[in-house]
Amino acid sequence: MLNRAEIAAVVCDLDGTVYLGDHVIPGVPAAIARVRAAGRRVLFLSNNPTKTPAEYVAKLTKLGIPATTDDVLTSALIMAEWLAAQPTAPRVYAIGEPALISTLQSHGVQLSDVPGQIDYVLASFDRTFAYPKLQIAFDAVRAGAKLIATNPDKYCPVPGGGEPDAAAIIAAIATCTDTTLQFTAGKPSPLAAQAVATRLGLPITSCLMVGDRLETDIGMAATGMPAALVLTGASTQAMADQWSGPAPSLITASVVTLVDYLLT
């Protein structure tokens, strides 16, 4: 059960929760506005590393949800902050789209595509993934690099289907090198929970994670964050019934019905 009085902030997933592709899920902008008007903070936390926080701000604002970069966290940003904080200044081979590369660069992370010089191979959601990138990752891991990833999602829901996500890239590299993934920065990692707590200045127990995917969004419940599943994206009620991970505090049709419940 969800202790509604204890929730000071709503941490809201984006793809499949707020929108599908470029289409906002009906009623969500008004629901977000109600949460804010009730004096509770809304933070958007996306595992999707293919847009910068500034691009998410532009997209949300265009869809009728005014936001600033203070309101957005992504797996790419959490990973960039983690890499930038390492005292060893690691060199990174990043398999990702321009938003990930620019986020890493803006944090001063050293990038390399020379296998013997790479400390971390960073796998990500990359719609330009191709064999030459896999070859560099393969050579780097065999030369001692560790495999890490922005996010563990299998696919990203879009209208009418989905797009293969970072899990496919991780699996390609892990399979050909017999290596294992060290960690991911996005949901459901403790690193993501810590980033939320730091950003909001709140204990994670008073932040409610709301999302459409059991493995990532509801997986956050293992970190101590309460989590609510919405049925507008990746996971269905039938999948929730079979789910053996941490239990959601609530399963509800959408962000709209969640907010109705939260603010009652």
Nearer to Mg ion, 199 or 213 (CB): 213
Nearer to Mg ion, 173 or 220 (CB): 220
Site for Mg ion in 184-213 (CB under 5 A): 212-213
Residue with CB nearest Mg ion?
16
Q: Is 119 in the site for Mg ion (CB under 5 A)?
A: no
Q: Does 139 bind Mg ion (CB under 5 A)?
A: no
Sheet holding 207-211, edge to edge: 72-74, 41-46, 9-12, 207-211, 227-230, 250-252
Q: Is 165 in the site for Mg ion (CB under 5 A)?
A: no
- Alpha carbon distance 108, 234 (integer Å): 34
Nearer to Mg ion, 15 or 97 (CB): 15
The residue behind tokens 């203070």 is 70
Question: Cα dist. 185→45, 194, 217, 250 in Å?
Answer: 12, 10, 13, 25
Cβ nearer to Mg ion, comparing 16 with 186: 16
Distance between CA atoms of 85 and 136, rounded to whole angstroms? Answer: 25
Part in contact with Mg ion (CB under 5 A); list of ranges 11-19, 110-118, 140-148, 219-227: 11-19
3-state DSSP of 156-210? EEECCEEEECHHHHHHHHHHHHCCCCCCECCCCCHHHHHHHHHHHCCCHHHEEEE
Q: Which of 13, 71, 97, 119: binder of Mg ion (CB under 5 A)?
A: 13
Provide the minimum distance between the beta carbon of 48 and Mg ion in the complex, in angstroms, as a whole number: 8
Assigned token pair, 182: 């060290």
Contact in structure between 208 and 190 (CB atoms under 8 Å):
no
Comparison of 96 and 233: residue with beta carbon closer to Mg ion:
233
Q: Please, what is the minimum distance in Å from the beta carbon of residue 157 to Mg ion?
A: 7
| Number of residues near Mg ion (by CB under 5 A) | 5
Beta bridge partners of 46: 74
Within a 13 Å sphere around the CA of 172, how many CA atoms are in the beta-carbon half?
25
Report 15-54 residues binding Mg ion (CB under 5 A): 15-16
In the complex with Mg ion, which residue's Cβ is closer, 133 or 213?
Answer: 213
153 is a site residue for Mg ion (CB under 5 A): no
Footprint of Mg ion (CB under 5 A): 13, 15-16, 212-213
